[in-house]
Every structure is written in C-alpha cells, then in structure tokens.
Amino acid sequence: MDVTNLSGTDLHLPEGRQAGQPGVTNLSGTDLHLPEGQQTRQSGVTDQGLGLETTDQGFLVNLADWNEAVARRLAGLNKIELNAERWEIIFFIRYYYQQYKHLPNARVFTKAIARELGETKGNSRYLHKLFPDGPLKYACKLAGLPKPPTCL
C-alpha cells in the first residue's frame, strides 16, 4: 500500500498494513514499529514549512526528518531551552543509537555518558538538571529518536 506523507514522498507500507496502524515506513524504506498503543498524528511541528508526523507523545515517526532546526522546534514545544550541555547529550544519544541500533535503559544511558563524556556528566543529578522530566526520554525526543521502551 502506498501513502503520501506531508512532504509528498510516497511511503510504502508493509503488506497488510494501513496508515495510522502501529508500524509506519520511514523515508529510508525500512519499517519503523511504534510501541503498542502509540498512534501517529499530525503535530504542529514544522521544518521550513514542512509538516512532520509525530507519535501521540511527540516523538518523530520518521527518523530521517530530524535536523537541528527540528530539534529546536521540538525543544520549544516542550519548553526546553537548548544550550551546549543539552546539545552534547542530544548528539551523544544519536551517536549511541546509530552505533548500537537500539536505545539504552536509563542506567546504561548514564553509564555510557560517563564513559564517553566523563563522570561529571554521566550521573543522574547532572542529567536531571538538564532534562528534569526524564533525561533519556527527552534526549531521545529532541534527538528525533523513538521513545525508549523503558520510558513511561
């Protein structure tokens, strides 16, 4: 089945799938499965006038849609001011996801940051200061990544 997204690009859904069901094909043609119960919806997020599809919790559906302008808009919608410290964590989680092809749980996330960026940044206090409502969840959201399976 072919569906056209907001950018006018044809999306090819797997056999038997319909638009709006969990599991949407992203722009690279690979199947992106949303966690059970998450639905896609059109949000007010735009990038240079292009509407972007998000989940009901505001995570980007198409990973390929992410760029720094999108991150700034997502941050604004979540009332988060992006500074150098937050960008460092956002770029770190994108790098982690690209390298390992999965998202860590909060403990592994913190330890990985400590290993790569040092103990002063790889601890819960520092990360909660940057993202009080959930460091892993909001770092992933602003990085254009899926919602981590361990986050509520």
Q: So which residues are the catalytic ones?
A: 151
Please name the helix (run of DSSP H) or strand (run of DSSP E) that holds residue 78, with its range, or none: none
Residues 6+ apart with CB under 8 A from 55: 34, 38, 39, 40, 41, 61, 147
Question: Which is it for the CA torsion 59, 64, 70, 72, positive or negative?
Answer: positive
Helix (H, G, I), strand (E, B) or coil at 86: helix
Q: How many whole angstroms separate alpha carbon 126 and alpha carbon 75? A: 18
Residues 6+ apart with CB under 8 A from 46: 52, 73
